[in-house]
Amino acid sequence: MTAHLHETGTGTGTGEDGVNTLQAWRTGIDTHQEPVVYMRRDCPVCRSEGFTTQARVQLTAGRRSIVATLSVVDGDWLAENVAGLSESAWASLGAQPGQLVTVTHAPPLDSLSHVRAKVYGNALGDAEFSAIISDVAAGHYSDLHLATFITACAGDRLDLAETVSLTNAMIGVGDRIDWGRPLVVDKHCVGGLPGNRTTLLVVPIVAACGLTMPKTSSRAITSPAGTADTMEVLAPVNLDVPSMRRVVERTGGCIVWGGSVRLSPADDILIRVERPLDLDSEGQLVASVLSKKAAAGSTHVLIDLPVGATAKVRSAQAAAALGRRLQEVGSAIGLHVALRVTDGEQPVGRRIGPALEARDVLAVLQDARGPGRPAGASVAAGGGHPRNGRCSARRRRPDARHAGAGRRPRLGHVPGDLR
């Protein structure tokens, strides 16, 4: 049925001017955010250009252009004059059904030579990492290219200078917020523990104490819920930068999903491929965390390092090494980084999952019979942000929580019956 519908199209193939065009069609196939185009093996474009599966092709529709990975189709579900687009390719290209799409070879990527150099153990500098990350953010790398780069940098293959270069490159390809304030604080937990929703407690308490805390958080990677997932139970987290700025200017803090703000777009792309690879790279972890903090406009960052048998950091020695690298890179890019090593042997909260973890958070903020461990951990973490080396809010922090001052800004943007 699909093939018959598209066989009636005209104006496709290789024209007299040598331009290869096909009709755009939305396949509805989810390729995990990798732009993919499907073309018949016997279509005129594949025959004239010699395209094969996994070729990188450039698609142009009107004024928009993307680079996609080609999958060659032998079945009759796709007509020979049609370019089937995956969901990611369809959204990125912005084509209309039946619109003519020009198909050409993708431009060669000079930065891949730097990736190959890293595979063979060579050190890379600022220019090389900048070229690689620029192409990553622009969508020029296929998932195979990304996996190669991630693998080449895995383990201890990035020294301090390379980690700084990678961090700066990741900051450079995204937006960067300037709050116009000398002190902007943030926190990050290296993670690996279920029920760890201390961010939803720390942000309102710190903001109620008068500090500025714009927090971008991730969705779940290895646990049932991420900070953004739990916050989304209570309020929208898909905010763009202008919306994020309005919330912070009104309340002093925010909790938004990092994927909705273009602060470190290359990092979001790399994480998408890192998850199925399940590779542990200290250098990329440091670059990922600190690039987002710097891009969000933070000046002082508290890093929580839980140590436990099932946490991401398994030993005190590993925590010391990772903490030292975080502080060294932070200093190199102008961030003040403080560390806090915590017990990671047990889950943090009593409930697991977005809705139940949100109940834990509200119970603590409302001084109900909430779980003691996240409350204590959050109060301790809330006192770790330095103001000229110390946290001037430490003395006022318990009063802010018990008086409900931390709860009011936290609930101020919750829509519906939870307001």
What is the mean predicted confidence (pLDDT) over 188-202?
Answer: 83
Q: For residue 221, what pLDDT is reported?
A: 63
Residue 163 belongs to domain with CATH number? 1.20.970.10
Residue 368 lies inside a defined structural domain of this protein: yes
Asked if residue 113 has pLDDT above 60, the reply is: yes
Q: For residue 16, what pLDDT is reported?
A: 43
Rg of the chain taking only CA atoms, in angstroms: 24
SS (H, E, C) 30-79: CCCCCCEEEEECCCHHHHHHCCCCCCEEEEEECCEEEEEEEEEECCCCCC
Hey, what amino acid is at 405?
A
Q: For residue 352, what pLDDT is reported?
A: 84
Choosing from 159, 280, 343, 367, the catalytic residue is 280
Read off the pLDDT band of 168 (50, 70, 90). very high
Hey, what amino acid is at 394?
R
Residue 294 lies inside a defined structural domain of this protein: yes
Q: For residue 116, what pLDDT is reported?
A: 97
369: buried, middle or exposed (CB in 10 Å: 19+, 13-18, 0-12)? exposed
Residues 119 and 144 in one domain: yes
Asked if residue 128 has pLDDT above 90, the reply is: yes
Hey, what amino acid is at 142?
S
Domain end call among 105, 127, 155: 105
Residues 144 and 191 in one domain: no
Residue 85 belongs to domain with CATH number? 2.40.40.20
Residue 359 belongs to domain with CATH number? 3.40.1030.10
Residues 26 and 82 in one domain: yes
Which of 417 and 222 is assigned the larger pLDDT? 222
Residue 193 lies inside a defined structural domain of this protein: yes
Domain end call among 105, 127, 159: 105
22 forms bridges with which residues in the sheet?
A: 101
What is the mean predicted confidence (pLDDT) over 142-169?
Answer: 94
Place of tokens 């009104």: 250
Residues in the chain: 419
- For 62: left if phi > 0, alpha if psi spans -120 to 50, otherwise beta; the answer is left
Residue 43 lies inside a defined structural domain of this protein: yes
Q: d(Cα 259, Cα 176) in Å, to the nearest integer?
A: 14
Residues 409 and 318 in one domain: yes
Read off the pLDDT band of 381 (50, 70, 90). low
Whether 42 sits among the annotated catalytic residues: the reply is no
Asked if residue 357 has pLDDT above 80, the reply is: yes
Residue 331 lies inside a defined structural domain of this protein: yes
Read off the pLDDT band of 372 (50, 70, 90). low
Residue 256 lies inside a defined structural domain of this protein: yes
Q: For residue 400, what pLDDT is reported?
A: 55
What is the mean predicted confidence (pLDDT) over 99-123?
Answer: 96
Which region among 137-151, 215-229, 400-414 has the lowest average model confidence (pLDDT)? 400-414
Q: d(Cα 71, Cα 54) in Å, to the nearest integer?
A: 6
Asked if residue 309 has pLDDT above 60, the reply is: yes
Residue 346 structure tokens: 């047990």
Q: For residue 1, what pLDDT is reported?
A: 41
Residues 288 and 168 in one domain: no
Place of tokens 């998850």: 275
Residue 287 structure tokens: 């670059």
Residues 15 and 162 in one domain: no
**Over pLDDT 70: what percentage of the chain?**
82
Task: Quick: pLDDT tens for 230-257.
Answer: 899 999 999 999 999 999 999 999 999 8
Residues 322 and 394 in one domain: yes
Which region among 75-84, 121-130, 309-318 has the lowest average model confidence (pLDDT)? 309-318
Residue 44 lies inside a defined structural domain of this protein: yes
Read off the pLDDT band of 365 (50, 70, 90). confident
Total domains, the chain: 3
182: buried, middle or exposed (CB in 10 Å: 19+, 13-18, 0-12)? exposed
Which range marks the domain in which residue 136 is found? 112-172
Residues 92 and 196 in one domain: no
383: buried, middle or exposed (CB in 10 Å: 19+, 13-18, 0-12)? buried
Residues 194 and 138 in one domain: no
Place of tokens 């928009």: 64
Residues 392 and 311 in one domain: yes
Asked if residue 405 has pLDDT above 50, the reply is: no
Asked if residue 392 has pLDDT above 80, the reply is: no
Which of 419 and 401 is assigned the larger pLDDT? 401
Residues 301 and 343 in one domain: yes
Q: For residue 367, what pLDDT is reported?
A: 76
Domain end call among 73, 105, 137: 105
Residue 180 lies inside a defined structural domain of this protein: no
Residues 410 and 363 in one domain: yes
Average pLDDT, rounded, for the chain: 84
